[in-house]
């Protein structure tokens, strides 16, 4: 059973709008930025992003089921991909990233992703990212 369903940014945002008041999490300016980014990516870019997310969550699910610890270096490349995909979605805007995090925190991963990610896999992805964030501080 797949852990993630391929979802493009447009479908992702449209699905969220069906069940969640987007204005509760994103400002009008942020929503306009996200819409502009969707348009800039175009159909091909959206299809690639869709496949990239699906591939990422599939691989993460395999590691989770295999018992790979979130801090294991085997996940470093997946963590880099996760960061790259979040960066692509947010456009590097920390406000959009914070709004996205608030959405997931308050609505839960299944509702926020409209079924794309289950809570267990989302927690595993967060643990993977937290392990890398804390390890950066250890290098000082």
Which residue carries 């992805």 as its tokens?
A: 125
Ranges of each domain in the chain = 9-138
Closest C-alpha to 54, from 111, 8, 122:
8
pLDDT digits (tens, 9 = 90+) for 9-28: 656 556 555 556 788 899 99
Rg (CA), the chain: 15
| pLDDT on residue 5 | 46
- Which pTM does this prediction carry? 0.76
Q: Is 26 exposed, middle or buried (0-12, 13-18, 19+ CB in 10 A)?
A: buried
């Amino acid at each position: 059973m797949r852990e993630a369903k391929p979802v493009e940014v447009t479908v992702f945002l449209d699905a969220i709008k069906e069940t969640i008041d987007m204005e509760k999490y994103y400002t009008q300016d942020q929503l306009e930025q996200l819409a502009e980014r969707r348009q800039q990516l175009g159909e091909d870019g959206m299809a690639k992003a869709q496949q990239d997310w699906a591939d990422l969550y599939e691989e993460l699910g395999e590691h989770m089921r295999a018992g790979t610890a979130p801090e294991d270096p085997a996940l470093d490349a997946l963590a880099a991909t996760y960061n790259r995909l979040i960066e692509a979605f947010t456009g590097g805007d920390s406000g959009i990233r914070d709004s996205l995090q608030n959405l997931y925190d308050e609505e839960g991963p299944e509702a926020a992703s409209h079924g794309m990610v289950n809570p267990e896999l989302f927690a595993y992805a967060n643990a993977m990212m937290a392990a890398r964030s804390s390890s950066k501080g250890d290098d000082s």
